[in-house]
Amino acid sequence: MFWAIVNRMFSSATAMICAMQLWYWYSKLPDPVPSHFDAAGQVNGEMSLFGFYALMISLHVVMLVLFPVLGAFLKVIPNSMINVPNRDYWLAPERRDSTLLFNSTFLVAIGWQTSWLMIFLFHLTCMVAVKNKTTITPEFNYVMAGYLLVVFGEVVYLYYKFRRPKIEAN
């Protein structure tokens, strides 16, 4: 329950910051906006300001709305469609509700964390557009490395959390 409340607070704060960021940059950005970068971080594609904003808003809606909705639907999804390690153990009737509550809460967290990635990438892209820079690196590398470290840590945590407990011999 605690983590569900924390997630709601982070999701709400993320949505407000996203809205403020979109509002702040709208009048400052050129049309078209640099929107694609090659492996070296060089601008190699643009899109209209409207398209850029539609994409960013859509991504945030998916992360902040669709992920929590998917988590809510876990209760009606058959066990065979839920992918967790040791599924038979963790989705046994006596553990199913707590497992699904955890997974639902975790989906919400993944959503707002990924939305923060989008906030940082949006900001870096706007800085490239406004300052007429030709590259998004090295900041992009730091943001992606940080995000990937968080995701890696979460995957390790999930494998640890959903390992099958050892049965004590008495």
Q: What is the pLDDT of residue 168?
A: 46
Q: What is the pLDDT of residue 94?
A: 94
**Angstrom distance (rounded) from CA 95 to CA 31:** 53
Q: What is the pLDDT of residue 84?
A: 86
**Angstrom distance (rounded) from CA 45 to CA 34:** 6
Q: 138 by DSSP, 3-state: which?
A: coil
Q: What is the pLDDT of residue 132?
A: 80
Q: What is the pLDDT of residue 170?
A: 47
Average pLDDT per run of 10 along the chain, which is 170 residues long? 85 95 95 90 92 94 90 89 89 92 91 94 93 85 95 92 71
Q: Find, among 125, 33, 115, the residue nearest to 66 by Cα.
A: 115
**Angstrom distance (rounded) from CA 100 to CA 77:** 10
Domain boundaries defined on the chain: 2-161
In this structure, the number of other CB atoms found within 10 A of the CB of residue 61 comes to: 13
**Angstrom distance (rounded) from CA 5 to CA 49:** 35
Peptide linkage before 32 cis (omega within 30 of 0): yes
What is the value of pTM for the model shown?
A: 0.85
Distances (CA, A) of 74 to 87, 88, 105: 14, 16, 11
- Please give the structure tokens belonging to residue 168: 């004590």
β-pair type (43-47, 33-37) = antiparallel
